[in-house]
Structure 1
Amino acid sequence: MRDPEPSPSLAERRLTTRETAELLGVKPETVYAYVSRGQLSSHRVPGGRGSTFDTAEVTALARRNKRESAGSQHTGGELSVRTRVTLIEADRYYFRGIDATELALRHSYEEVAEWLWTGRMEPGVEFRAPAASVAVARRAVDALPEHTGPTDRLRVAAIAAAAADPLRFDLSEDAVLGTARTLIPTLVAALPPARRGHRDTGPLARRLWARLTGRDADAASLRVLDTALALLVDHDLAASTLAVRVAASARAHAYAAVSAGLGVLEGPLHGAAGGLAHRMLLDVLDQGDAAPVIAEALRSGRRVPGLGHRLYTGEDPRARVLFSLLEEVPDATPALAAARDIVATAARHTPLHANVDLALAVFTASSGMPATASETIFAVARTAGWIAHALEEYQERPLRMRPSGHYVGPRPPQPLP
């Protein structure tokens, strides 16, 4: 396909916003996003309301976008997508160029989310949900069967909140950010509290704690939870994040994009890993020895949960931070010892380091939380990252994530069955 070229008549004059959008293959509001990022310059029409754009500049941007889109295809057998959100490199990871573990240790989950979305730090920011949105989401979640899992509850809450928001189809950056700042606390508030009489006050981590355990929250445990949320905000292009970007590429609104991520997260190979590690940890604590538990897992052909990560050759930096903080939680001492026993015992079979799932299992098991708690923590945390990726994708060419199928079935024509 040839590079986009303006017609001779267009090349002789400046382009309108509509013509610029058509040449770039984007919506008119995206044209002004290019202007705000310094990728295009515009001039107001004297006496008019619109702006005009230099034809050569727009054509050059269209060519550049085409080259970048080509870089979002299959490279070396894997899908590669350009992003400015997260970099994973040499057993460390970074949010917009800043060490993610340092951010998580020094800033709250809400502050890290704002950094991920805007590249600005907003000290002391707290996300609050509108009462009307919470009421609709709670009614929807309360109607679910008692055995419903946390990801199902969160997905239903997201859908209910979307139905209550008539402006959800506004995909401008300010509108999506407004949605993000209210959707996350709405998801938390929609979950049933672990005990009666709880009041939804304080930072998001405190409000989430009351949904995960009936125990009182101490400062050290709340810090672990808040840091875990911040560490889990994003982690490059995980399966759920890719689903979110595909949805955003089709211009699904933010609620629908988050719902797509929650759907993938529920898969046993993604969001359920922390629950498996939690149950294994309880078995080790019950038997007092990791060896028989790991032996049974290996004999059954199962992998040992909580160990190893395909993106890290060494220790998962998220696990390292959480284990360090858990040392300050007195109730976590037995579970920490069991986790060390698991790592040491498994090392006789294969030298794998603990990952964040095992660290979360130590936290959830020692805090009196159910095995599904890590899935809830992961989903709430990652919602902020999904929004960050959706914001990026809304600025890209629509429907660019549309791979071609490689048909391997019988060649036509075939007889009717």
Structure 2
Amino acid sequence: MTVTGLEGIEVTQSAISSIIDGTLTYRGINIDDLATYSSYEEVIFLLWNGRLPIQKELEDLKLKLVQYGTLPDPITNLLKSLPHDVHPMDKLRTTLSALSLFDTHVKDMSREANYDKALKIQSKISTIVAAIQRISEGQEILLPKSEYNFSQNFLYMLKGKEPHQTAVESLDKALILHADHELNASTFSARVTVATLADIYAGIVSAIGTLSGPLHGGANEAVMKMLEEINDIENIEPYISEALFTNKKIMGFGHRVYKTGDPRAKHLKRMSEKLTILTGQRKLYDISTRIETIIKNKKGLLPNVDFYSASVYQSLGIKKELFTPIFAISRTSGWTAHILEQYDNNRLIRPRATYVGLLRTEYIPISQR
């Protein structure tokens, strides 16, 4: 039986994350516990190693993420040369691909080398995304500071000043919530790529390209565009009614895997309320909650991880064009975990397709056509 979009088809085995009865876990640990008690660096270690780190291991990881944050000069020059009107995801894809050319160990396929490359990619992708924004604003590129954690450093490299602790905590939690999600589209594309024994950079570039689509990583950017178009509480009802009448897709609702609600959404909703109040943008939260109520009542759909992440990032002063690249920063931890797992027990991924075209078609020479 052919299943469109491979929905419900199990194509591999993985010990990284699971979605069972609507509960998301990373290496068996409930996402609610990780979002409440953990840090993004701890989650990186967990995804890559299958267990939580001890203090020394966590400190070593944090140090490496800072040390590897510097970009080669040619990469910096490349970033500055890219067209300003190109979407940041396209810039990120191109830059990440070019970055592989400056890694002298790119073809070393030992697990130790690949783990080290995963560290480099995780660190540098944060610097690259911040640099894309800084360059577009005519500002100098900043590098991570050793006294900051991963989330602090990204906000510092983005804004050029010490970030507010609430902002740091909110971003860190958002990165944790987006870090992995079983065999999603971008993770699958990464595993397909490296299953050919292509290098880890090629796998990440494939994943970035997949994430750039509006049905995957681009959804929260689309949510923010919708919130901007609505702009006021009184405009919600007519906007949503018109969208439903014309069958316009309202982004940020429903999920192919979750039927009783995305477990990550409640964390982002609480963060949205807290941040919008802190930054004087409560209207964003109020509009969002009203949309949630209407869509739930009229369509029976609940918000997914993308819906409230839009107002969270907006409250952090992040431009909507950067929402998906930040998703990529977070998901890099999951992508690299799956890539390492694929390398450990590799088999070429080569599915079949059910042929539905013409049969026994006669070839006609060009002179007779």
Report the TM-score range of the alignment, normalised by the length of the smaller protein: 0.7 to 0.9
2:352 is aligned to 404
Secondary structure in 2 aligned to 1:169?
A: coil
In 1, the alpha carbon distance for the partners of 2:298 and 2:125 equals: 41
Contact residue 69 and residue 127 of structure 2 kept, 8 A? no
Displacement after TM superposition at 1:317 (Å): 1.4
Structure 1 contact 319–356 (Cα < 8 Å) conserved: yes
Q: 97-106 or 271-280: which moved more?
A: 97-106
- Partner residue in 2 for 1:270: 216
**Equivalent residue letter for 1:325:** M
Amino acid at match of 2:17: T
Q: Which runs of 5+ in 2 are unaligned?
A: none
1:372 is aligned to 2:321? yes
- In structure 1, distance between residues paired with 2:74 and 2:149: 22
Structure 2 vs 1, CA of residues 107 and 83 (structure 1 numbering), >3 Å: closer, same or farther?
Answer: same
The residue identity in structure 2 corresponding to 1:291 is E
What is the aligned length?
343
In structure 1, the partner of 2:182 is 236
Q: Give 1:224 shift.
A: 1.0
Matches within 5 A, 1:344-359: 344-359=293-308
Aligned pair partner of 1:280 in 226, 238, 262 = 226
Deviations along 1:127-180, one digit per CA (max 9) or x if unpaired, are: 125476443332222221001212112212211221001211122221111111
Tell me the C-alpha RMSD between the 2 structures. Answer: 2.4
Residue number among 174, 189, 198 corresponding to 2:112 in the alignment: 174
More helix by share: 2
Q: Per-residue CA shift, 1:206-227, capped at 9, x if unaligned?
A: 2322465678631112111111
Query: Which of 312, 317, 323 is the equivalent residue of 2:269?
Result: 323
Partners of 2:282 and 2:70 lie apart in 1 by 42
| 1:163-312 alignment, distance < 5 Å | 163-191=101-129, 192=131, 193-194=133-134, 196=139, 200-201=144-145, 202-210=148-156, 217-286=163-232, 288-312=234-258
TM-score, structure 2 as length reference: 0.85
Q: Which amino acid aligns with 2:40?
A: Y
| Structure 1 residues 83 and 131: CA distance shift in structure 2, 3 A | closer
Letter in 1 for 2:74: V
Distance in 2 between residues matched to 1:304 and 1:219, nearest whole Å: 33
Larger radius of gyration: 1
Query: SS state of the match for residue 14, structure 2?
Result: coil
For 2:176 and 2:42, the matched residues in 1 are separated by 9
Q: Distance in 2 between matches of 1:295 and 1:244?
A: 39
CA spacing shift, 1:297–1:209, aligned 2, 3 Å: farther
Q: Which residue of 2 aligns with 1:145?
A: 83
Further displaced range: 147-156 or 292-301: 292-301
- Is 1:395 matched with 2:341? no
Whether the 8 Å CA contact 2:16–2:50 is kept in 1: the answer is no
Q: Report the equivalent of 2:292.
A: 343
TM-score by length of 1: 0.76
Per the TM alignment, residue 81 of structure 1 is displaced from its structure 2 partner at its CA by 1.4
Q: Deviations over 1:32-54 (max 9, x none)?
A: xxxxxxxxxxxxxxxxxxxxxxx
